[in-house]
Every structure is written in structure tokens, then in C-alpha cells.
Structure 1
Amino acid sequence: MEGTNHTQVTEFVLLGFSHGQPFLFALFLAIYLATLLGNSATFSLVSLDPHLHNPMYFFLSHLSCLDLCYSSVTVPKILANTLRQQATISYRGCLAQAFFLMWCAGAECALLAVMAYDRYAAVCQPLHYAQAMSRSTCAMAAAGCWLWGLLDSAVHTLLAAQLSFCGAAKLQHIFCDVPPLLGAACSNTHPNELALHVSSIFVGLSPFLLVVISYLCILATVLGMPLATSRRKAFSTCSAHLLVVILYFVAANLNYNRPSSGYSPAAGTLVSVLYCIISPMLNPLIYSLRNQEVWEALRKVVRVSGTPSSSGNNA
């Protein structure tokens, strides 16, 4: 028994790579830089402009922070491994990466549901919006999202830490996550799989249903608007939000609640890349940079930074 104990594993080999991939390095680097730029800009603008100090942008700033963490958990290690002869990650580093990855995933699922409810309250119940989304309520909701993701991640990581790995520890992936760990384990994985199925219902499916119901109610209200231009603008915004949310939830559910057979490692890697790396890059474009208020805040920052100081003018 001692010879197969998981503590004997010091590192994992990531088989999703083949050495010498300058194109992949350039691609992931471009995606990462775009993610950092877009989410950092959103977070900074919301913090600096008082006109954006409302519930919608408060939650957007938390989404930007989450997406920055999301990408930074995985992409820097991916970039390093694309340049190595053999892609590896230490055992403790693997568990840490899986822990922070699932923390971000669980928190973002909850946050997207809260953001959808915020929009529902603003559009469908405008008279009660200030009371429903007060400053204290928003703060508790945001803290609850982070805590929800933390608790979910802690459960899965503790279960993953009990797994045993026999022989060469190889993961069919480009970064560490719980499903690849289960595929490489030689011990009983039924508790881990059961936890993933339960989590997919409470952490994945339930928030997704809340998002869909909220946006359906919003669209029903939008269709009742008297002005065609208002309907067209609101419908464009809601449909873009819903499309990104569906992409995220479907990809995440496929990753953590995948069928036991008929699901190739390459498909698993692609699905993971969609919601862990591509989605954080797209969120600023969909939620923030298509918004006129954000562009106005950006123009103000540019004007202020480009205006000479009064002391310089007097001189």
C-alpha cells in the first residue's frame, strides 16, 4: 500500500503539449495580454469614475477581477510549458492550480447569476430596484459568490488530495484540473465523481437556470417597450450577454460533468480552453466595451491624462 501512496508523486507530466510550439506560445500570449488589458481597464474605470459606482458596474468589477485570476492561474504556466521539451507541473503546484481554478469557476457561476438578477431587477422592477440592490445587499452578494466558489473548490481539492497515482503520473491536459486528475488516478474515484455531479447541479445548473429565467423576463419586458430603437438596443445587449453566459455554462458543465466514455482528451482540453481562457478575454468586450457609459468614462480618463496641469499653463 505504501508504494502506491499518492505522496510518492512529485510531479505530473502534461500530455496536452508537444515540445517546440512557437505558434501556440504566441497565440496564448496574445489572448493573455488581451485579457489583462480588457479586464484591468474595466476594473480601473469602475474604480475611478463615480458615474460607474452602481450595482451593475460593481458586479462587473468583480467579474473582471475573477477573470484576471482565472487567466493568471493557468496561462503563465501554459506559456512556460510550450517552450519546454517536456511539460510538467509539481504535485503541490497541480493541486494549487486545480484549487484556484475551481474557486474561480464556482465564484463566476454564482456571480453571473447575481448579475442577471441585477439586470432583471433594473428592467422589470425599476421602482423597487434601489431597495432590492442596496449597497449592503450588493456587498453581501459579491462576498457570497467568492465564498461559494471557495467552499466548492475546497471540497473537490480535498477529495483530489486523497487520490493515489501508480507509475508515471501523466495528465491528458495542458493544465491541472480535477477531471484530468481523476483520469490519471489508480484509486477509487467514485466520491470525487459524485461530488462533481452534485456540484454540477448546485454550482452549475442552478445559476444557469436563474440566468436564463432572468433574461427571458428581461426580453419579455423589452418587447413591450414602445420605441423600436429602445427595443433593438436592449435586445442586442441582452442577446450578447446571454450568448456568452450560455457558452461559459455549457463548456463548464461539459468539463466537470462529462460522460465517462466517448469523450476524447483533445475535446476536454478544447472545452477547458473555451471557458477558462477564451471566456475571460471575451467578457470585457461583451459586458463593458459595448457599453456607452464605459466608453464615456474612458474618454474622460484620456482627456484628464492628456490635459496639461494648471501649474504648467500658468508657467
Structure 2
Amino acid sequence: MNLQNKSLSAKIGKASIYLIIIFLGLVTLLPLLNIVAISMSSSGAVTANAVGIVPVNFTLEPYRMLIDDPQFWRSFGISVQRVFLSLALNMILIVFMAYPLSKRKSEFKGRSIYMNFLIFAMLFNGGMIPTYLVVRNLGLLNTIWSLVLPSAVPVFSVILMMNFFRGVPKALEEAAIIDGAKPMQVLLKVYLPISVPSLATVALFSIVGSWNDFFSGLIYMTRESNYPLMTYIQSLTVDIQQMIQQGVNSTNLSELMGVSNRNLNAAKIVVSSIPLILIYPLLQKYFITGIVVGSVKE
């Protein structure tokens, strides 16, 4: 009887936890649903704060304004290019820095010096103006490399990966060395195949950081045609008076009058979130494992 009571209590407790998690999940979805509804509602309804989680006076005009804009697609391509370049550069530098730093002092005598440099670089940086001067003097303004190189070495990810490598059983490396493997072969054939959780975690950090960053585009790009997507959509506004001066016809003007900055800003958030929403589920199963294992030092 006691076992049955315990089993019933365990089931009730488990069901309660699931209900709480489902409730919290639905609560966190409400702001996102509200943003989507605002992006699909008329300007009058948005201004009157009459929009909840269902669109009022449904319209897709904010999305049409974004999609019909050739600069939108140009900036989208720049952001995609930036993400791929940053991801490749970040992963190469992270792995090749973390692997030697994961060794003992007896194996890598200069380890403490390099670790001190990394910690110092993580806590302090040169600041925006010195960084801008370096980028300008290297002739990188208005190039994709001005968006990629300043963040080429994410120190936190290096430390995360280093701690993961330090948790790999030493016997695996010793067995590979006995079989004649060189250090590069040990890294590529022993360490990397079992480091997928941490690799996926730092890759997610790189993708999200590169995609969401808009401030670098404002600093290093002087022409709108070179803006990454986040910088471009951050700068978009609806200026009806300017459109009238440019000779917008009455049909288009009547459509634009139904769009406000709040509609357009909501559409920006929705459009810019789609790539991350598609990517995150692919890497999410590795995320917790990579964070926990890579952050623990034995």
C-alpha cells in the first residue's frame, strides 16, 4: 500500500511539474505572439493599443515594405555571408587555441602566460574608438572583414572548449600516441569527434552573436548598401512626408498610411528571428550538455 501511495504521489508530482513547465512555456510565448500580431495589424489598431495576440484589421503591408526593398535582400546576403565567415573563423581559432591550453603545464610550459592574456582580454578591451582606429588603419572599413575580424576570438568560448578538452580521458590520447598518431591527428581524430556538444554550443554562440549584432555595422559601414541585416532594419522608419515628396502614387500612399513605425519594428523583429528559430532546434539538444561539461573543471 505504501508503495502504491508513493507511486501515486510520484505521478502527481511529475504531472504537476509538467503542467508548470507547459504554463511557463505558454507565458513566454505571449510576447512573441503579441509582436507577430502587431506586425500584422493596422496602424490605427496598434496606436490604440487594441492588439493582443490576434491581429486586428489584418495587413501584411509591413512585410511587403521589407520584402519589396532590394536593400533588404542585399543586407540579408551580407548577414548570411558574415555568419558563415565568422563561424568558420571562430571555430578554427577556438579549437586550435583551446587544445594546447588544455594541456598540463609540464606539457605546455607557456600555458600560464597565454591563459593570463586570455583572461585579461576577456575582462578588459581597448574600447570602441581604438578598435575603430585599428580597423580604419587596416583599410577594412566598408568590408565584410570589419564585421568578422574584431570578434574572431571569443575568449569565453575558448575557455569553454578548453575545459571540455581537459575532461577528455587521457588514456584516449595516450593510446593514439602509442599507435603513432601526431598531435594534429590526435586533435582531429580523437578530440573533435567526442566534442560535438561543446562544438555545437560555441557554434550557436557564434551564429547568434554574428546575426544579432547591429552596432558593428553602424560603426564600420559608412554606406547603407554595406549594412548587415540587423543594422539595416534597425535604421528603417516610415516617413510619410518624405514619401509624398518623392512622388508616391495615391494607391501606395493609402497603403503606407496604414503602417506605423511600431508595425514596421514588429515586422523587423519577426523577420530577423526566423533564421535563429530555424537553427536553434538543430543545436538545442547539444546546448545544455556542452555548457555543463565545458564549464566544469575537475
Give TM-score scaled by structure 2 length: 0.30
Give TM-score scaled by structure 1 length: 0.29
Larger Rg computed on CA atoms:
2
**Higher normalized contact order (CA 8 Å, seq sep 6+, divided by chain length):** 2
